[in-house]
Amino acid sequence: MSAGKFPDRARIDALEKVQGLTRYPGDMPASRMLHAMIVPSRIAKGRLTGLDTAAALRVAGVVRVLTPEDFPSPPPVSEAGPPPPPPSLEQRIAFRGQPVALVVAESLEAAIEGAELVRPSFEVEPFAVEIDSKDSERDAAENVIFGDAQAAFARAAITIEAKYTSPTQHHNPIELLVTAAIWEDGRLTLYESTQSSAATKVATARALGLDPAMVDVKSAYIGGGFGQKGGSSQRQTVLVARAAMLLGRPVKIVVPRGQIFHQATYRPRSRHHIRLGADAGGKMIAAAYDAEQEQSRLGSFPAADYHEAPARMYGIENYHGTAADIRLDRQPPGWMRAPHPQAACFAFESAVDELAYELGHDPVALRLANDRRVDPLTGHPFSSRFLNECLEEGARRFGWSQRNARPGSMTASDGSLIGWGVACGAYPSRMVPAVATLRIGADGSTLYKASGHEMGQGIRTAIATVLLEALSIDPDRLEIVIGDTSAAPQHMTAGSWGTAGAVPAATKAAARMREAMTELLAGRRIQGNLHRQLAAVRRPSLQIEVTELGPGQGPEALASLRRGGFAVAGPEYPTFTTMSYIAHFVEVQVETRIRRVRVPRVVSIADCGRVISPRTAASQVRGGVVWAISAALREATEIDPRYGGYLNNDLADYVVAVNADIGSIDVGFIDQPDPLANSTGLKGLGEVAMAGASPAVANAIFHATGKRIRELPIRIEHLL
């Protein structure tokens, strides 16, 4: 493993982005492009019995209305097989907003007008859309159990028990869901804003009966993904691909936000019943944690993962966890930034704060005293763990020692109540295979083609940082091609494993290139960068290819990646477990009369192993904290019990934090390489950045007001 700190480099795409030159999938030019609009179901459950398309087809510019008859019947789904194809148009209606037809037109305006004029008819069935609806179905719980919690509670000096709720939330990346499909000479090319171009390629081919070798998916830049653009199930993909095939012209769709609310995944509402037991010295000895979440009838977003962080965060040797799905007539929920820890850490880290008050211990000291080095789920050591260092550094920067622990005891000069809160987050650090080709030209060019997607997190900058540190090449002519199935096998870039795949591969590619150059020069000493050296020996270019696998991964992982599969390793590796950690310190100010909550400052210190790109890493953490503040104080999706669907399905009514809501966010890193997780010593950062910051806000509000709010978002009415 290499050591040393990386320099603070600007984003390599910064200038291009601020100049508006970056080409997103929706910007791809194509001649004779058609525009498509989805007709959504207006019922929540039942059957499509008819589609009157006559009026739509009379709109000038409308060229076709696709209906369920235009799609081949889907292939059978098998557990072991390739990813299931995205659903197309179906007669069976499983949720409100499900696509029932696709209008294709010469202009966007005509497509919209046509879509409004399609008249579907339905056979309606009773439905359940709310977690407490009487027709919901509760699955048997899954368990995460170790030690003997019952016996440990019996000997605990102090026990606390509470129930917490996290609401339904939608991702809302600013870039909408976008697909442009081009069908030419029996080849399908999709420009799509996706975190998972290979899975999209394979699944779309399967859904439409095509050879995957004849399909390519290109997703060079994504305007925010956050998990909504992961997986292989964007609802519009197969629809526009089929339209392009039937019409022989490029077809583009930009799904309106209101439809995205109803067709894409979301963070499910979840409830968390927690008991914590501690001995008189403040050692946490028992936890019982029952989690439940809303789920679609057939959805598989795993409830058991609510335990992935809480079960590992502190030295609790006796843990009794359950997790259950409550089945509803909704579209499937899915991964949304810090997927499970956002809700689980809100609950668990609020409970730890409650325990600290019950014990009369400082909440930082309580956490420091509950450190652990072994993963209780596997019995293996953590490969690295600097959570206590995060807490200590955060407390120092924040000035935590100045805190008066008594709720309501601290006030600002304008009389507002001040609250200081702390909470932590943890997230599994995973690894994914990556393949890369590096070509350096005597003409000054460098071309790097690899696995990975750029959704703004900075993966290109991380790759560039590594290449430019290791190789003497022209930075202005470095081209990085990622997210493109024609350039390299692509992994789904999610779950904080993107950089852990991309950077070790880039490191290896740079090393291999240096070796190849040394061999080529055969002892000759030539001045200048690699381009000049190539020119001096009259070699137009030099190319190498590398593959990087995760610990314990073999050729089958690579084969799976090449098939568009899910080849992720960790956080449980053969002999160790790897987690990323963060500690957040939050100050809130609560106005005494109207109880408005402000968050003037946050200090967040992360342990993500070795930091590759200091600037984009800090930016990742700031973004996660902003979202956690938004989740703590603003965001909730309102479900409509009368008709199914969502009431606040736009950014006017789904309230997110804006610049004026955000104060100072001071970000720091421990920056100690993990010795085992990968050759670079880095751990994932994007998800853990958000984990634990919402409970830090809630804990600060308790400190300010003495009110323990166990439901997000925390609103003025909770504090009156």
427 binds ligand MOS (CB under 6 A): no
CB 230 to ligand MOS: min, Å: 5
Based on the shown chain and the rule CB under 6 A, indicate whether residue 310 belongs to the binding site for ligand MOS. Answer: no
CB nearer ligand MOS, residue 400 or residue 427: 427
Residue 508 sits in the site that holds ligand MOS (CB under 6 A) = no
Please report whether residue 502 would count as binding ligand MOS according to CB under 6 A.
no
Contacts of 607 (CB under 8 A, 6+ apart): 384, 385, 386, 387, 389, 390, 580, 581, 582, 669, 670, 672, 683
Q: Nearest distance from residue 212's CB to ligand MOS, in Å?
A: 23
Q: By C-beta, is 44 or 632 nearer to ligand MOS?
A: 632
Closest alpha carbon to 491 in 571, 579, 563, 556: 563
Query: Phi, psi at residue 292, to the nearest 5°?
Result: -145, 150
Residues 183-212 that bind ligand MOS (CB under 6 A): 195
CB of 689 to ligand MOS, least distance (A): 11
Element (H, E) at 17: helix 14-18
Looking at the Cβ atoms of 465 and 496, the one nearer to ligand MOS is: 496
Nearest alpha-carbon partner for 171 in 651, 629, 563: 651
Nearer to ligand MOS, 602 or 690 (CB): 690
Asked if residue 501 binds ligand MOS (CB under 6 A), the reply is no
Query: What is the b/e burial string over 116-136, where b = at least 16 CB atoms within 10 angstroms of the residue's CB?
Result: ebbebebeeeebbbbbebeeb
CB nearer to ligand MOS: give 114 or 230. 230
Whole-angstrom Cα distance, residue 566 to residue 494? 11
Q: Are 486 and 525 in contact (CB under 8 A)?
A: no
Under DSSP, is residue 618 helix (H, G, I), strand (E, B) or coil? helix
d(CA 700, CA 707): 10
Q: What count of Cα atoms within 13 Å lies in the side-chain half-sphere of residue 696?
A: 32
Of the candidates 383, 397, 324, the residue with the CA atom closest to the CA atom of residue 137: 324
What is the enclosing helix (H) or strand (E) of 717? helix 716-719
- Cβ 308 to ligand MOS shortest distance, Å: 13
Q: Which is nearer to ligand MOS, 120 or 339 (by Cβ)?
A: 339
For residues 229 and 252, which CB has a smaller minimum distance to ligand MOS in the complex? 229
Binds ligand MOS by CB under 6 A, chosen from 100, 190, 239, 336: 336
Smallest distance from ligand MOS to CB 685, Å: 12
Closest distance of CB 25 from ligand MOS, Å: 17
Smallest gap, in angstroms, from Cβ of residue 686 to ligand MOS?
Answer: 7
* 333 vs 645 by CB, closer to ligand MOS: 333
Q: What is the x/- site pattern for ligand MOS, positions 137-176, by CB under 6 A?
A: ----------------------------------------
> Which stretch in 200-208, 330-338, 539-547, 595-603 sits in contact with ligand MOS by CB under 6 A?
330-338
Strand pairing of 319-328 and 284-296? parallel
Containing 541, the helix (H) or strand (E) segment is strand 541-548
Least distance from ligand MOS to the Cβ atom of residue 660, Å: 26
Pairing status of strand 434-441 against strand 417-428: unpaired
Confirm or reject binding of residue 624 to ligand MOS (CB under 6 A): no
Which pair of tokens denotes residue 256? 């309106």
Sole residue written with tokens 């089945």: 327
Q: What is the Cα–Cα distance from 397 to 670, expressed in whole angstroms?
A: 13
> What would you report as the CA-atom Rg of the chain, rounded to the nearest whole angstrom?
26
Q: Which one of the spans 253-261, 319-327, 333-341, 463-471 is the region binding ligand MOS (CB under 6 A)?
A: 333-341
Name the minimum Å distance from CB 133 to ligand MOS.
Answer: 27
Using alpha carbons only, what angle is made at residue 225 by residues 79 and 482, rounded to the nearest 5 degrees? 85
Q: With binding defined as CB under 6 A, does residue 301 bind ligand MOS?
A: no
Question: Minimum Å distance from CB 459 to ligand MOS?
Answer: 12
- Residue count, binding to ligand MOS (CB under 6 A): 11
Nearest distance, CB of residue 678 and ligand MOS, angstroms: 18
Q: 130: which strand partners? A: none
Q: In the complex, what is the shortest distance from the CB of residue 199 to ligand MOS, in angstroms, rounded to a whole number?
A: 13
Question: Tokens 């600002």 — which residue?
Answer: 412
Q: Which stretch binds ligand MOS (CB under 6 A): 21-29, 224-232, 315-323, 635-643?
A: 224-232
By CB under 6 A, residue 337 contacts ligand MOS? yes
Among 25, 82, 173, 230, the residue binding ligand MOS under the rule CB under 6 A is 230
Q: Which two tokens stand for residue 549?
A: 């696998």
Q: Do 136 and 328 touch, CB atoms closer than 8 A?
A: yes
Tokens 């751990």 belong to 683
Per CB under 6 A, 335 contacts ligand MOS: yes
* Residue of 250, 310, 339, 452 that binds ligand MOS (CB under 6 A): 339
Binding window for ligand MOS (CB under 6 A); candidates: 225-233, 370-378, 386-394, 688-696: 225-233
Give the nearest residue (CB) to ligand MOS.
227
Smallest gap from Cβ 261 to ligand MOS, in A, equals 17
d(CA 349, CA 342): 10
Tokens of 48: 């499509």
H or E stretch at 705: helix 693-705
Q: Among 85, 227, 363, 489, which residue sits at the site for ligand MOS (rule: CB under 6 A)?
A: 227
Rule CB under 6 A: is residue 632 a binding residue for ligand MOS?
no
Q: Which residues of 647-670 are buried (b: 16+ CB within 10 A; e: fewer)?
A: ebbeeeebebbeeebbeebbbbbb
Please tell me whether residue 702 binds ligand MOS under the rule CB under 6 A: no
The span from the first CA to the last CA of the chain, in angstroms, equals 55
The two structure tokens encoding residue 424: 């932590």
* Closer of 176 and 544 to ligand MOS (Cβ): 176
Q: Nearer to ligand MOS by C-beta: 26 or 225?
A: 225
Spatial CB neighbours of 404, under 8 Å, sequence gap ≥ 6: 410
Smallest gap, in angstroms, from Cβ of residue 504 to ligand MOS?
A: 19
Please compute, for residue 411, the number of CA atoms within 13 A of its CA located in the half-sphere on the CB side: 8
Cβ proximity to ligand MOS: between 231 and 644 the closer is: 231
- Stretch touching ligand MOS by CB under 6 A, among 253-261, 334-342, 386-394, 471-479: 334-342
User: Does the bond joining 641 to the residue before it have cis omega, within 30 degrees of 0?
Assistant: no
* Of the residues 84, 225, 421, 681, which one makes contact with ligand MOS according to CB under 6 A: 225
Residues within window 545-604 making contact with ligand MOS, judged by CB under 6 A: none
- Report helix, strand or coil for 412: coil
* Alpha-carbon span 443 to 631, nearest angstrom: 50
- Tell me if 394 contacts ligand MOS by CB under 6 A: no
Closest separation in Å from C-beta 505 to ligand MOS: 20
Least CB distance to ligand MOS at residue 268 (A): 13
The residue from 95, 183, 191, 226 that contacts ligand MOS (CB under 6 A) is 226
Applying CB under 6 A, the span of 42-50, 105-113, 222-230, 521-529 interacting with ligand MOS comes to 222-230
d(Cα 495, Cα 431) in Å, to the nearest integer? 9
For the sheet with 46-52, list strands across it: 92-93, 46-52, 119-124
441 part of the interface to ligand MOS, by CB under 6 A: no
| Residue 688 in contact with ligand MOS, rule: CB under 6 A | no
Q: Contact with ligand MOS (CB under 6 A): which of 99, 167, 495, 570?
A: 495
What are the residues whose beta carbons fall under 8 Å from the beta carbon of 690, sequence distance 6 or more? 337, 338, 341, 342, 425, 624, 625, 627, 628, 631
Residues of this chain that interact with ligand MOS (CB under 6 A) are: 195, 225-227, 230, 335-337, 339, 494-495
